[in-house]
Chains A and B, each alone.
Chain A
């Protein structure tokens, strides 16, 4: 799966922005909050693109845009090279399905598991009731749930079991792309690994492509083939997972990786050198959004927006990097 990818990306985002108008009070004019400021991404078949970032970075908003739940303020979403607009939501739904974070609110408590898992088939008018019933049985088996669960209700299942139901529901119409929005963050560690293994297996078996959103870098390192790091609505670094974890370039990426606490008792909690200021998405810092917290920041960073340094399919948005002479890699200035 590595090597040259001259195939069309299955999913592409070009220069997506999303701005909300936030009311500041009853009588003042609403101020614009730019949740996403110019994001371009490409997903190729069988990729697992890990999208990492902390709260307020815009990753959930991006997921909603991909699922058709929100419309971008500008920019295009292309599926197999064709642009998708608001009217194509049904079409989009057959290709892209979500798995959400909270297993306790992602299933309708008043519907049986059978109804929940077969809903996508019903909505898209696929098959008749007999074939749908078979499809539900097959999906439940695939995600490791016993047959008798289908007559039950979400309230009778544990968090891990509910998440399996959510996975079954997402996969029952054979989508190509699955958006996983923190699918294991609300689960216990021992259940988390079960679900992660399941997701990895299903990707192999069904040839799925994942956009995997998480704040847990250890999980990303384990699952992802490529990683994009978001900060305040922008992608500050994107490259293959192996490269990112071997040699992170952007200072924020480095801080994120340093924050991962491995269970090694001989180490203490590291000092991340990030300072105590917190970004306000409504009035982001000028120049590089990250400069108030960056240990390497200079005057240039405070005034000029960092360049988009791209080599091959990797890029970094930082003043301290440039493209190498042969154009194949990114090197520090």
Chain B
């Protein structure tokens, strides 16, 4: 054969996409912090029964309003004090983590499924499908999410399941918009044309050629919508229209403690700080993931 073979001796120096990703991830402080805090919250939620001595529901009116361990008059058996019904705050905090995480994850999954399906369809097929989806997105964006959630909860009563469903069916817009534009960018690339020319069916192209290249955007949006959902649930519960007492939702804990804000501030500061840290961690994780998977976008 007269044509020359390609020399690759020194050429496979660059790392595979997976290895490069791992290397970048370990250097990113925001990402690592977010991951660490999120990991802690997960552990707290998972091991709540082991970590808390008391149940979050047991009322002990004799031990009401005990301050947390760093204040005077603390009760050593209640590390973070008790609330106005004598329930152990540490237990309520840890079990509350379960609620927040559950809401965050399940809502993100539901809205993710809806939004991604719509967005990918709009991005890949274009034309009338795109027009329809864009219309739906615009309708959804015109809706005030909190008011709609309130209205539905007012109609059907508040509960964990209702909140999850309502938020899941309302928070899909960012998924749709991001997936749509990502898919539109990729659809024009030649490897998609090559796949079509090879004879790939549309489902195969969507799953095998396009999805792997948009999945990093998807994960970033997913983390951000998780944080969004958690905050919304806290707001709804604060207003009394989310999770109902005695379930230990952090938003509900803030609501229940707001009357005693001046004299027993820990009742709202403890769940407040927990919420803040969790949402911050998720946002940092999301930002970090975006930086790490698309460093070109950092500018």
Q: Is the CB of A160 within 8 A of B191?
A: no
How many residues of B are counted as interface, with CB atoms below 8 angstroms from the partner's CB atoms?
A: 30
Q: Which residues of A contact B16 (CB under 8 A)?
A: 152-153, 155-156
Q: A123-B204, A148-B8, A152-B12 are in contact. Are A98 and B197 (CB under 8 A)?
A: yes
Stretch at the interface among A107-115, A233-241, A249-257, A316-324: A107-115
CB distance from B99 to the nearest CB of A (A): 36
Q: A109-B17, A201-B1 are in contact. Are A102 and B190 (CB under 8 A)?
A: yes
Q: Does A129 sit within 8 A of B, measured CB to CB? A: no
Q: Is the CB of B3 within 8 A of A67?
A: no
Q: Is the CB of A69 within 8 A of B6?
A: no
Bound CA span A293–B10, Å: 50
Q: Is the CB of B11 within 8 A of A106?
A: no
User: Closest A-chain residue to B210, C-beta based?
Assistant: A108
Bound CA span A106–B191, Å: 4
Partner of A106, one of B3, B13, B194, B199: B194
User: Closest B-chain residue to A162, C-beta based?
Assistant: B6
Q: Does A225 sit within 8 A of B, measured CB to CB? A: no
Q: A160-B6, A197-B3, A201-B1 are in contact. Are A93 and B199 (CB under 8 A)?
A: yes
Q: Which residues of B contact A120 (CB under 8 A)?
A: 198-199
Q: Which residues of B contact A92 (CB under 8 A)?
A: 199
Q: Is the CB of B191 within 8 A of A107?
A: yes
Q: Which residues of B contact A273 (CB under 8 A)?
A: none
Q: Is the CB of A94 within 8 A of B199?
A: yes
Bound CA span A201–B4, Å: 11
Partner of A146, one of B8, B14, B189: B8
Q: Which residues of B contact A94 (CB under 8 A)?
A: 199
CB distance from A303 to the nearest CB of B (A): 39
CB distance from B23 to the nearest CB of A (A): 14
Q: A68-B197, A93-B197, A106-B190 are in contact. Are A155 and B14 (CB under 8 A)?
A: yes
Bound CA span A98–B195, Å: 10
Bound CA span A200–B2, Å: 10
Q: Is the CB of B5 within 8 A of A145?
A: yes
Partner of A157, one of B5, B11, B194: B11
CB distance from A250 to the nearest CB of B (A): 31
Interface-central residue, B5, B190, B197, B209, by most chain A CB under 10 Å: B197
Bound CA span A166–B195, Å: 11
Q: Is the CB of A194 within 8 A of B3?
A: yes
A interface residue numbers (CB < 8 A to B): 64, 67-69, 89-90, 92-94, 96-98, 100-102, 105-111, 119-120, 123-124, 144-146, 148-149, 152-153, 155-158, 160-161, 164, 166, 169, 194, 197-198, 200-201
**14 A–B pairs (Cβ distance < 8 Å), ordered by A:** A68-B197, A69-B197, A97-B197, A108-B212, A110-B212, A110-B213, A119-B198, A123-B199, A144-B3, A152-B16, A153-B17, A156-B14, A160-B6, A201-B3
